[in-house]
Amino acid sequence: MKCTINRRAQFSASHRYWLPELSEAENYQKFGLCARAPGHGHNYVLFVSMVGELDEYGMVLNLSNVKHVIKREVTDQLDFSYLNEVWPEFQQTLPTTENLARVIWQRLAPHLPLVRIQLFENPELWADYQGEGMEAYLTVSTHFSAAHRLARPDLSFEENCEIYGKCARPNGHGHNYHLEVTVKGEIDPRTGMLVDLVALQKAIATLVVEPFDHTFLNKDIPYFASVVPTAENIAVYIANLLNAPIRDLGAQLHKVKLIESPNNSCEVYAADLQPLAVNLKNKEGILISV
């Protein structure tokens, strides 16, 4: 029987996004504050996922051996280092989160049966790499606070309470929503980026966080005047809002995960999306549909 196991590790390191062939102005335009000298640091958290058959001892691998491999091949070398200089791979391609995950895979693959490398730069930004050439995944996490009421206008109060329980109460209730947006793309062989991170964060803030934060979704977001704002419907709506703008940035939306509370969350994959009639103003103030 096959089983996937995961091992956690961590290291602290610094890096700088800077290309010598670009001018100072061009570097700052492309990388923002990440171009500042001498660099900046992170407490990285690494998850190594491996797959294999269970042996007679009930293990896929001896975790003590796994720990020593990760320590020898990765964390001992990267901990308290300047990433741009520690490994030769980063002379050609900058040590972004997604490229660092890719290179860690390459370092560990000869020794461990890998299925995924997940690397957290911080709790709001992480990358996943699964051994597919230059393809990787990058996730941005953010949040907004909003209220909603779950009720269909064509049903009575009693019928809505039967379906939605306390969530159908007339004056609604609120949540601190956590939103995770995962994009997929090819890592640029020079910049190490699969998407312009600043532009991605700006799109999420402009299209989702700013319009949604501190609203009553049923009344303040036109779409939810006729669609019940369940976590599932909110996630579908957000995915539709972001799908085209992310494509315009040269990446693909992969997944939207909406965490309504510690007990409830949902995930929507872009591959399953169907277009919605969404009223949205572009930067010229003209209504468009996505």
Question: Among 239, 245, 240, 234, which Cα is nearest to 282's?
Answer: 245
Please give the Cα distance from 30 to 191 (Å, whole number): 9
Catalytic residue among 68, 143, 173, 214: 214
138 Cβ partners below 8 Å, 6+ apart? 97, 98, 125, 126, 127, 128, 182, 183, 185, 194, 195, 197, 200, 251
Q: Are 267 and 255 in contact (CB under 8 A)?
A: yes
148 is catalytic: no
Catalytic residue among 167, 186, 266, 267: 167
φ, ψ dihedrals at 162, nearest 5°: -65, -35
Please give the Cα distance from 98 to 104 (Å, whole number): 10
Helix/strand/coil for 241: helix
Catalytic residue among 98, 121, 180, 260: 260
53 is catalytic: no
Please give the Cα distance from 15 to 1 (Å, whole number): 42
Please give the Cα distance from 290 to 212 (Å, whole number): 17
- First vs last C-alpha separation in the chain: 45
CA angle 256, 262, 268 (to 5 degrees): 15
Please give the Cα distance from 94 to 192 (Å, whole number): 5
254 is catalytic: no
Please give the Cα distance from 119 to 95 (Å, whole number): 12
Catalytic residues: 167, 214, 260
